[in-house]
A and B are shown apart, each in its own frame.
Chain A
């Protein structure tokens, strides 16, 4: 049987959980590209390239970033805005996880219960999750992979996400600076 790959969607009706098909999160210093364990540096370069190639790249900051007021979190927010500006990306927040009545406004927010609505409405081709609690992030990532053509990236502060097309783990602010530097470097090279 062929090894499962976590490829850009739409994968179809209710894709499997990647962890059930042998995709593992790896260890510190590793990252995931489409289910393959790679070195973190390779994944950072890959994310930079994906963001630069995208037509409608979008960052989805979650509650762990939006509601934090520590100096570290504020710095993190500034870095995200800087990266977003560098690749001309939108920022659409995921402020909470509750079901929205009667429905979300896909123009201004994304929600883990219907993440595909925001992707479709804004025609997002690369979406980056940061600061979303891991459980809700995995729900949203899998639904997006199942029903949309959006390439997903997870910048996770913990152990990473098999459900994302590309995932970093233990993403600290230094890693965000590495991503920003990689984007600038690629741009200099004509990307």
Chain B
């Protein structure tokens, strides 16, 4: 069915009421199914493994009439610049990238936020060169933490699907109106098949209304646009330095304002298992799945371990994490990257950091066997750290 024939529904209806069917699909295919329902005006992409398949599938949606326009850019920097142009013109944009592509495009991400563009982007993370590695690793998330975008980290294809569907609504709120990045650990989610409940009703999300934007959109028909988007030149005394500083503060404030909207659609920012256990694992993304297996292994040996799963990295659930770890005696933070960005985040919001084991960490494409986490539970603090 052509997108134009689909009935427009609210995000709440799409997430909580629309008829769904369980299908067996890859994470890339879950992207296709989410975008099929997202009423996208335009998608511009550039291929990079492991993101390529999802963007190829979005191209199929264009051919089927679910996406109105679809282009391949010349490279990631061009793509993200072009995506910005579309969003500035007041249309709903979607794109995706990963790893080296993320870095090539990087200058655009804080620009998106600063220009208050409600772009939704999927990051299917991958290792950063050099040496070149086409393998999973989410170090790029550490580099994006302060670009001014909302960052959601999905554990599996189902969460990836649901988070993408909800992101447009969050990004496009007038008081928020900043980009949303939905992250998965590349390959582990994109290239494995899982059961995903997808919407099968002939519905799509309500369209984006650019009149609700907190900044003027490009509209040469309506005066005085040409005066509105002149470059914000940060020179001499024509613009107060306080204006640039306040501008940056406003972008950070926009992330804070997103909290109630994210919570209404995603549920709590954290999920817990065994909250009373003296040892707690804090994880996001696929490290959560590995931690669940580790917790079962530890339980079989009589060791009680809890889990704090973090779903939103920006805004970071500081109070929730602090409360969840208030009585923990030992805190393990397993991660798929070298730098331990999640451990840093956790350490910055809880007291008594000597309770923390800031690992285990694997990277460069390595997998994280659950027994490595069990070793950390038992006292080995060295893996990857």
Contacts and interface: CB of A to CB of B under 8 A. Distances in A.
Interface stretch (A33-41, A99-107, A122-130): A99-107
B72 interface: no
Main secondary structure of the interface of A (DSSP, over half): loop
Interface stretch (A19-27, A50-58, A76-84, A178-186): A19-27
A72 interface: no
B173 A102 contact: no
Contact of B249 (A16, A95, A100, A147): A16
B16 interface: no
Contact of A63 (B212, B228, B243): B228
B250 A139 contact: yes
Interface string A129-169: 00001111011001100110000000000111010000000
B320 interface: no
Interface string A66-100: 01000000000000000000000000000111111
A175 B271 CA distance: 42
B245 interface: yes
B174 A159 contact: yes
Given A63-B228, A136-B215, A18 B240 contact: no
A20 B247 contact: no
A191 interface: no
Interface residues of B, number: 35
Interface in B185-217: 212-216
* Best-buried of A17, A24, A101 by chain B (most CB within 10 Å): A17
Nearest to A137: B214
Nearest to A160: B175
B215 A17 contact: no
A14 interface: yes
A113 B177 CA distance: 21
Given A24-B260, A25-B257, A63-B216, A99 B238 contact: yes
Interface residues of A, number: 37
A19 B214 CA distance: 16
Given A138-B250, A159-B173, A159-B174, A96 B227 contact: yes
Contact of A17 (B224, B232, B252): B252
Main secondary structure of the interface of B (DSSP, over half): loop
A160 B243 CA distance: 20
Contacts of A177: none
A63 B216 CA distance: 9
Interface in A112-126: 112-114, 116
Contacts of B257: 19, 24-25
A65 to B, nearest CB: 13
B239 A95 contact: no
Given A133-B213, A133-B214, A158-B212, A18 B239 contact: no
Contacts of B230: 98-99
B175 A158 contact: yes
Contact of B228 (A98, A101, A113, A159): A98
Given A14-B245, A99-B233, 14 more contacts: A14-B246, A19-B253, A19-B256, A25-B257, A96-B228, A133-B215, A134-B175, A136-B215, A139-B247, A139-B250, A142-B250, A147-B242, A158-B174, A159-B173
19 contacts: A14-B246, A17-B249, A25-B257, A63-B228, A97-B216, A99-B230, A99-B233, A100-B238, A103-B238, A113-B240, A114-B243, A134-B174, A134-B175, A135-B116, A135-B250, A138-B253, A139-B246, A139-B247, A162-B253
